[in-house]
């Protein structure tokens, strides 16, 4: 057999690294009105009154779920979403700065229409712009991946066979789905990640399976 055609025989079996059994990715509830349809990013905004209602509905839905650990962004909108959940017996959250929202640089504080007017770019292209470094002073998709991936990997390894929740932000959840499902970050625009939404994955032999995507108890349960 020619050397360039030789292939090393695959191992008879591969034991996957221990990982969580179930992972819930939870986006914070609706923010105060002046920051809706705005590239808020690192602005430490609060929830709207409607957002507090959404958080209460989220809490009702998750009542009875047994979480071994909860990780959360330190940002105020996430912490306020957590408040009613903690009243349901959810474990004290492990505050994780790596799960802060992406920094939108010069787009920060601009509305979607304002981005189009000021920068001449479609606001709907934000994933592509982060990926190519097209937003001045913003955190690139590569930098976002560099900070999220090690923290996510640690969560998965630390709780083998357990159920864990991460409360964070839309951009961070998109990066996590990109990493877990092996989908390009720019393609995660096909996923809707609404306020106070639940996305749940289970892991069989280390392989992720998507069970819920963008499920909103405040919207989807009558």
Query: What is the pLDDT at residue 205?
Result: 82
Region 49-70 average pLDDT: 95
**By the 8 A CB rule, do 148 and 175 touch?**
yes
Query: What is the pLDDT at residue 9?
Result: 43
Supply the CATH classification number for the domain 18-220: 3.40.50.1240
Name the band, by pLDDT with cuts 50, 70 and 90, for residue 204: confident
Question: Which of 14-28, 40-54, 77-91, 107-121 shows the lowest per-residue confidence on average (mean pLDDT)?
Answer: 14-28
Query: What is the pLDDT at residue 206?
Result: 81
Helix segments in 2-140, DSSP class H = 49-62, 76-86, 112-119, 126-132
Per the confidence metrics, is the pTM higher than 0.85? yes
Query: What is the pLDDT at residue 139?
Result: 98
Does the structure show a pLDDT above 50 at 62? yes
More confident residue, 112 or 89: 112
Cβ neighbours, 10 Å, residue 35: 17
Does the structure show a pLDDT above 70 at 90? yes
Angle subtended at Cα 214 by Cα 210 and Cα 220, rounded to the nearest 5 degrees: 120
Q: How far apart are CA 61 and CA 215, in angstroms?
A: 11
User: What is the per-residue DSSP string for 161-180?
Assistant: T-EEEEEE-HHHHHHHHHHH
Query: What is the pLDDT at residue 4?
Result: 44
Query: What is the pLDDT at residue 143?
Result: 98
**By the 8 A CB rule, do 175 and 25 touch?**
no
Name the band, by pLDDT with cuts 50, 70 and 90, for residue 18: confident
Averaged pLDDT of the chain:
92
Q: How far apart are CA 185 and CA 175, in angstroms?
A: 6
34: left (phi over 0), alpha (psi -120 to 50) or beta: alpha
What tens digit of pLDDT does each residue of 20-34 get? 999 999 999 999 999
Does the structure show a pLDDT above 90 at 222? no
């Amino acid at each position: 057999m020619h050397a360039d055609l030789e292939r090393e025989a695959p191992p008879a079996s591969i034991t996957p690294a221990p990982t969580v059994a179930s992972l819930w990715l939870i986006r914070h509830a609706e923010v105060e009105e002046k920051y809706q349809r705005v590239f808020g990013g690192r602005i430490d905004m609060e929830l709207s009154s409607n957002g507090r209602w959404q958080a209460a509905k989220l809490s009702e839905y998750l009542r009875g779920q047994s979480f071994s650990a909860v990780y959360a962004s330190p940002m105020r909108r996430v912490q306020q979403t957590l408040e009613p959940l903690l009243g349901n017996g959810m474990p004290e959250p492990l505050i994780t700065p790596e799960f802060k929202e992406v920094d939108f640089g010069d787009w920060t504080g601009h509305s979607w229409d304002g981005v189009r007017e000021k920068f001449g770019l479609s606001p709907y292209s934000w994933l592509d712009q982060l990926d190519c470094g097209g937003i001045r002073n913003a955190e690139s998709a590569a930098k976002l991946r560099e900070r999220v991936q090690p923290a996510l990997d640690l969560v998965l390894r630390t709780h083998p066979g357990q159920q864990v929740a991460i409360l964070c932000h839309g951009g961070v959840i998109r990066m996590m789905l990109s990493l877990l499902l092996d989908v390009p970050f720019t393609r995660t625009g096909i996923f809707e990640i609404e306020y106070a939404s639940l996305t749940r994955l289970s892991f069989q032999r280390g392989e992720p399976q998507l069970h819920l995507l963008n499920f909103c108890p405040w919207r989807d349960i009558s």
